[in-house]
Amino acid sequence: MKKGHFSKAGFILASAGSAVGLGNIWKFPYIAGDNGGGAFVLVYLLTVAFVGIPLLAAEIALGNMTQREPVSAFEHVAPSGKKQWRFAGFSFLGSFTLLTFYSVVIGWLYYYIYLTLFHLPTSIAEAEAAFMGLVTGDAITQIFFHALAMLTVALVVAGGIQKGIERINTFMMPALILIILVMFFYALSFDTFGKAVSFMFDPDFSKLTAYGVLVAVGHAFFTLSIGMAAIMTYASFSGKQTKVLSSSLWITGIDTAIALLAGLMMFTFMYNFGMDPQKGAGLVFISMPAVFYQMGAVGNVFAVLFFVALTFAGLTSAISILEPTVAHLEERRKISRTKAVWGSAAIIYLIGFFALLSQVKGFGFLSVGEKSLFDAIDLLSSSIMLPLGGLTLALFLGWVVDRHNLERFLEGHGFTKVIFNVWFFAIRFVAPVAITTIMLYSLFFGSL
């Protein structure tokens, strides 16, 4: 039996918190910038609609239908003679792997809250030196803040569904949205806001390459926390009041809105101070601190708020990433929640410890082939384990589970016959093709 359930609003906020991760505020703006802006955003939005929402609804449906942790959920729904599909439930190991380096990045964010409170870098060069000095030269600081990040995540998950996860998301998600909105409305006062809007929403397909299309499709898939069993696990703690279709739309709407608002805000600020938004992954830790410095006193306040918002986004995702492992150990292996949380957190922290060291000068031996351990874990989780999780989910519901049983269940969750047919087609054909293409490209031509 479940030891707690989300309220209806609590499930939406927690699931949105899972989806709204660093990818929304960190990755989305720079990959949009790197791939031509408006045309990329259009492909991204179309993919969210026709791949992201169907897969998100599939995870919610499987979790809500079974009220079980991932392995048991697949096993429970699989037809007689096909119980080997329970192994698809081990997709939660992808989230476990992801958290080993994701927690390191949250540690960087903790450090940047501290840094921006006392000293904003005055230029791109100074900001770059500060960031690279942290990542490649300051192991002690990284170890400390990585421990602080993992401790935060473990404490929340140990508190349980209502008193831990729902409570923290009920605070962090509204706070995150408020911070983004305040900075967005401030951006409206700049003359360069129109330029940012044009860049984000005026499609120029001559700038969109086949690679850009794959990046847009890939980001739409990953931004919704699909393939790691996090949303499925949260849905197993949702009650009958949870409706699959409306929940999927709410979660996707919040996730997408934050990505777009963050992108508009950041591009506006960067254009206003003469900076090119196409700066790669260093946009958050290098470009934005320099932008905030040029904004004066307001910039000092915004810098702290910005990294607080990023930290909230990272923590709400990290909490959801840990929960599937804990749920499996607690429900399937009958290990107490306390032992499951702290045991899992200790292993994740230890792997993350070696991952962060692998980028520090003098620890080059911590590598896998030509990649640092940090980059290798990123590749393994993002390009192999998460896509496999999404692919097996789509194949399972599209080709293994009885279609009529699915349709009967979803009738009570806002699915008309037409909506179900569109959803089923997307799950059966569109999603597997999209995921397989992304995975093969990532493996053979480099990570997206």
0.85 exceeded by the pTM?
yes
CB within 8 Å of 408: residues ≥ 6 apart:
none
Nearest residue to 313 (alpha-carbon basis) of 13, 19, 27: 19
Q: Is 278 exposed, middle or buried (0-12, 13-18, 19+ CB in 10 A)?
A: middle
CB within 8 Å of 175: residues ≥ 6 apart:
308, 309, 312
The 8-class DSSP code of residue 280 comes to G
Please tell me the distance from the alpha carbon of residue 118 to that of residue 300, in angstroms, as a whole number.
9
| Tokens representing residue 403 in the block | 């279609």
Run of H or E including 368 = strand 367-368
- The segments of the chain whose pLDDT lies below 50 read 1, 278
Q: Nearest 5°: phi and psi at 368?
A: -125, 105
Nearest residue to 222 (alpha-carbon basis) of 33, 435, 443: 435
Query: Could you tell me if 161 and 3 are in contact, meaning their C-beta atoms sit under 8 angstroms apart?
Result: yes
pLDDT at residue 59, rounded to an integer: 97
- Taken in order 121, 124, 128, 129, the sign of the CA dihedral is negative
Count CA atoms closer than 13 A to 416's CA, side-chain side: 2
Place of tokens 């030891």: 3
Run of H or E including 371 = strand 371-372
- Residues 65, 69, 73: CA angle, nearest 5 degrees: 45
- Taken in order 60, 155, 302, 359, the sign of the CA dihedral is negative
**Read out DSSP for 90-102?**
GGHHHHHHHHHHH
The 8-class DSSP code of residue 122 comes to S
Place of tokens 């940012």: 196
pLDDT at residue 32, rounded to an integer: 84
pLDDT at residue 448, rounded to an integer: 65
Please tell me the distance from the alpha carbon of residue 349 to that of residue 368, in angstroms, as a whole number.
19
Q: Is 362 exposed, middle or buried (0-12, 13-18, 19+ CB in 10 A)?
A: exposed
Q: Which amino acid is residue 292, in one-letter code? A: F
What structural domains and CATH numbers belong to the chain?
8-445 (1.10.4160)
- CA R_g for the chain: 21
pLDDT at residue 1, rounded to an integer: 47
pLDDT at residue 388, rounded to an integer: 93
CB within 8 Å of 404: residues ≥ 6 apart:
none
